[in-house]
Structure 1
Amino acid sequence: MSDLENFRTEMRAWLEENCPNEMRDGDITAENQCWGGRQWEFQSEAQKLWFERALSKGYTVPTWPKEYGGAGLSADEAKILDEERKAINARKPLSNFGISMLGPALLAFGTHEQKEQHLTAIARGEIRWCQGYSEPGAGSDLASLKMKCEDEGDHWLINGQKIWTSNADISDWIFCLVRTDFDAPKHKGITFILMDMASEGISVKPIVLISGHSPFCETFFENVKIPKSYGENNASVVGEVNRGWDVAKNLLVHERGMLGTMSPLRGTSGPESLGKFAVEEIGLDESGRLDDPALRQNIAQAELDNWAYNLTVERLTDEANAGNGLGAKSSMLKYVASELTKRGTELRMDIEGTTAATIGEDGIEYGSLANNWLYNRAYSILGGTTEVQFNIISKRVLGLPSQ
């Protein structure tokens, strides 16, 4: 038996012994995941137990070095751990932007001291991060951002606004792109900086969407003083001043890769449950097939597309693990995942018909099908619009000319 086969056997046994049954429901939503942070309270003893057991092994961030709270697993080992976790429908023990976005950027650009402070806190679920990228006048054209960051000797002075800042109202720290040189070309005068959300002068205003709820916020910075350093060799700036776009590009790849490798048709909106749900709602015809040929075809097509998508994710993941990197291909995954996610809730709306659009006295119920259907429309905008992804794919993946 190979080393990886032995590792799979060990992981299967460890998961079986240590993951509580309550954490194996496969019902993974934004509401029931463990996010961590200063304000975090575990939703159950089972969730707390699962987190603590995974943390003790470094499995909250399995590929990170052990010195920063990880398990030091290879890419192949981490893939096996993830496969075995999914095989029993177990939730992730910890999820947040610190793991999926900031962490990889710090591993690539951070000093040892920055990694020691921030990565360790992320791995232990002690700090929840949000992302300060988009501004009212800088969304898809992110490099045109104007949030001002001035050098005041022993600190940075920051003024401006960010928008669509997911979970800013419940996050502890924010990683931000700021303008430190207004005379430089727009991609050159940007700096990547880390800030405590408790800093004086930072205020947050939630944004309510048509779904009746959203994680998005407006974040305002008024004369915010951020120290140059949080300790020796532990600067608040990641990478070089005025070279933050290098860090930003690295992080955007991970963000789009994260959005692209989600399970768009899994769970309540997935093809695994769509067929059964449709039969229960609509019934079968005389030949034992779903008694709606058009809907039957649409569900079958969704299953085929989801199957092809999952195979593509696996192939690109293997390529990345082999050292080829994901790069611009993350835009392909992000686009397809967005479309499949929207299609999943649209199909369920088709199955339920007018009853799916029920609105109560307090509006659309949060977490309901109608709420999810409305919210999922945003997937073709958040993380980079579909049009932006098409431009990236055409130029950097297909090699098509700009004109």
Structure 2
Amino acid sequence: MDLTYSDADQAFRTEIRTWLEDHLASADWAGLKGLGGPGKDHEAVEERLAWNQHLAAHGWTCVGWPVEHGGRGLSLWQQVVFHEECARAHAPHGVNHLGEALLGPTLMAYGTAEQQARFLPPIREVTELWAQGYSEPDAGSDLANVQTRARLDDGGAEVGGEWVLDGQKVWTSNAHFSQWMFVVARTEPGSQRHRGLSFLLVPIDQPGVEVRPIEQLTGGSEFNEVFLTGARTGADLVVGEPGQGWAVAMALLGFERGVSTLAQTVDYARELDTVVARARANGSYDDLVLRDRLATLKVELSVIRAQGLRGLSSAEPGADSVFKLVWAGWHRRLGEAAMEVAGHDGLLTRSADGSAYDLDDHQRLFLFSRADTIYGGSDEVQKNILAERVLGLPREPRP
């Protein structure tokens, strides 16, 4: 496997690095550097949306999409370069990852020409934001246990009828500022498990949808509960065939761990550097055991990046599951090391006037990283995938 970049890739790196340096130096955007991201999605949402629309106006969204769908058609390595340079420039984090990286490619693969024409341009232009309606109170890691139901009301719309949805979704990222949600719902009465599910596109701003933010330990409310009570969407807004939504839902998850996820190792390296700097400043770096622990984290991160590149370039079975396991576990260990470095200060919260609950960056890192091994596919699920689908071991007993 050749992990080197071609001259053309390096030239592209120079192009995007120069563009980011020039534009992030502007007074309009300089104050947004580093805002957003896991555990901090509540930060400067409107300002980050404006930055994303600025990127779109200059052709820097959906860079990996095919040219015929409005993207730049960049190669895999150029996409890696793009996301790495955004991370290195400390650009504000995006607000439409679910639309650009997950739903967009899914619509290209499974959507109708009409669906592509309706939804891809607003995703590319960042004028419509998307949330993911998968998990439920009893269907998290076990997604096939979805109980949200949708029935077709033939008389509910002027043309073709409408789907009427009832149920509850939970851990719905960014639903509180999104306009649309893609929903996995059971559309065949009496069906069980992965059979009889459909993949629907549902507008959030309607009377039948209630969004309740879930306050997290980090102080934000990135996740939400979403209640669907007679919510409606057009009969033509089912992606793929009705009842065959499981295949569409799984295909979407396959897009989840792409090049943008790999680029988060740049952010992780920056976080590690801040932990090391704090250790040097407060003297804990003199502890040889702790110093060895920090050095191990640095070496491991280099290996994780190589593993991610290898998985992207070779499409080995189970590579995305391996990558999820290793980066999630590493990030949790970084959070634990950060608290060890912080010492007693890591136990304290403070604010300017001493009254509010406020976290420093390392406290937030520790608390949010506890969820890394759960969201986006828990460790247990990833290990089962590798055991059963890659190694061919017997299936774990199902209820």
Question: Do both proteins adopt the same fold according to a TM-score greater than 0.5, normalized to the shorter chain?
Answer: yes
1:402 aligns with 2:395: yes
Alignment partner, residue 20 of structure 1: 25
Alignment partner, residue 372 of structure 2: 379
Structure-1 separation of matches of 2:64 and 2:177? 27
> What secondary structure does 1:380 align onto?
coil
> What secondary structure does 1:161 align onto?
strand
Structure-1 separation of matches of 2:233 and 2:319? 36
1:81 aligns with 2:82: yes
Deviations 1:152-182 (A, max 9, x none): 1111111111111112222111000000113
The equivalent position to 2:318 in structure 1, one of 300, 322, 328, is: 328
Asked if the contact 1:64–1:73 (Cα under 8 Å) also holds between the matched residues in 2, the reply is: yes
Structure-1 separation of matches of 2:371 and 2:36? 16
* Amino acid in the other structure paired with 1:108: A
Does 239-248 or 22-31 show the bigger shift?
A: 22-31
CA drift of 1:275 comes to: 2.3
Alignment partner, residue 294 of structure 1: 289
Asked if the contact 2:265–2:305 (Cα under 8 Å) also holds between the matched residues in 1, the reply is: no
Structure-2 separation of matches of 1:377 and 1:193? 31
Alignment partner, residue 214 of structure 1: 221
1:167 aligns with 2:169: no
C-alpha distance 16-264 of structure 1, shift in aligned 2 (>3 A): closer
Structure-1 separation of matches of 2:31 and 2:305? 21
> What secondary structure does 2:395 align onto?
coil
Does 14-23 or 387-396 show the bigger shift?
A: 14-23
CA drift of 1:18 comes to: 4.4
Alignment partner, residue 119 of structure 1: 120
Structure-2 separation of matches of 1:84 and 1:256? 18
Alignment partner, residue 138 of structure 2: 137
Asked if the contact 2:322–2:382 (Cα under 8 Å) also holds between the matched residues in 1, the reply is: yes
Alignment partner, residue 309 of structure 1: 304
C-alpha distance 7-211 of structure 1, shift in aligned 2 (>3 A): closer
Deviations 1:258-315 (A, max 9, x none): 78535358368733333222111116xxxxxx31011111101111111110111122
Asked if the contact 2:168–2:228 (Cα under 8 Å) also holds between the matched residues in 1, the reply is: yes
Asked if the contact 2:88–2:266 (Cα under 8 Å) also holds between the matched residues in 1, the reply is: no
Structure-2 separation of matches of 1:30 and 1:112? 33
C-alpha distance 225-91 of structure 1, shift in aligned 2 (>3 A): closer
Structure-2 separation of matches of 1:75 and 1:240? 30
Alignment partner, residue 390 of structure 1: 383
Deviations 1:124-168 (A, max 9, x none): 110111111111111111111111101111111111111111122
* Amino acid in the other structure paired with 1:384: G
State the identity as a percent: 31
CA drift of 1:246 comes to: 0.6
Q: After the TM superposition, which residues 330-369 of structure 1 pair with which residues of structure 2 at under 5 Å, given as runs?
A: 330-360=320-350, 362=355, 364-366=357-359, 368-369=361-362
C-alpha distance 274-210 of structure 1, shift in aligned 2 (>3 A): closer
Structure-2 separation of matches of 1:183 and 1:172? 31
CA drift of 1:101 comes to: 1.6
* Amino acid in the other structure paired with 1:388: V
> What secondary structure does 1:220 align onto?
strand
Name structure 2 gaps, 5 residues minimum: 1-5, 155-160
Structure-1 separation of matches of 2:173 and 2:39? 17
Structure-2 separation of matches of 1:75 and 1:259? 11
- What RMSD, in angstroms, separates the aligned Cα atoms of the two structures? 3.2
Asked if the contact 1:68–1:123 (Cα under 8 Å) also holds between the matched residues in 2, the reply is: no
> What secondary structure does 2:132 align onto?
strand
Q: Give the total of aligned pairs.
A: 380
Structure-2 separation of matches of 1:258 and 1:79? 5
Alignment partner, residue 226 of structure 1: 233
Asked if the contact 2:87–2:266 (Cα under 8 Å) also holds between the matched residues in 1, the reply is: no
> What secondary structure does 2:46 align onto?
coil
Structure-1 separation of matches of 2:309 and 2:201? 33
1:195 aligns with 2:193: no
> What secondary structure does 1:209 align onto?
coil
Structure-1 separation of matches of 2:244 and 2:272? 44
C-alpha distance 166-84 of structure 1, shift in aligned 2 (>3 A): closer
> Could you tell me the TM-score, scaled by structure 1's length?
0.83
C-alpha distance 371-277 of structure 1, shift in aligned 2 (>3 A): closer
Asked if the contact 2:187–2:198 (Cα under 8 Å) also holds between the matched residues in 1, the reply is: yes
* Amino acid in the other structure paired with 1:315: R
> What secondary structure does 2:181 align onto?
strand
> Could you tell me the TM-score, scaled by structure 2's length?
0.84
* Amino acid in the other structure paired with 1:382: Y
CA drift of 1:387 comes to: 0.8
Deviations 1:18-66 (A, max 9, x none): 453655986353399999xxx96326xxx84x64553234211101134
Does 26-35 or 339-348 show the bigger shift?
A: 26-35
* Amino acid in the other structure paired with 2:180: W
Structure-1 separation of matches of 2:95 and 2:169? 26
Does 58-67 or 194-203 show the bigger shift?
A: 58-67
Asked if the contact 1:269–1:345 (Cα under 8 Å) also holds between the matched residues in 2, the reply is: no
C-alpha distance 312-328 of structure 1, shift in aligned 2 (>3 A): same
> What secondary structure does 1:102 align onto?
helix
Name structure 1 gaps, 5 residues minimum: 229-234, 284-289
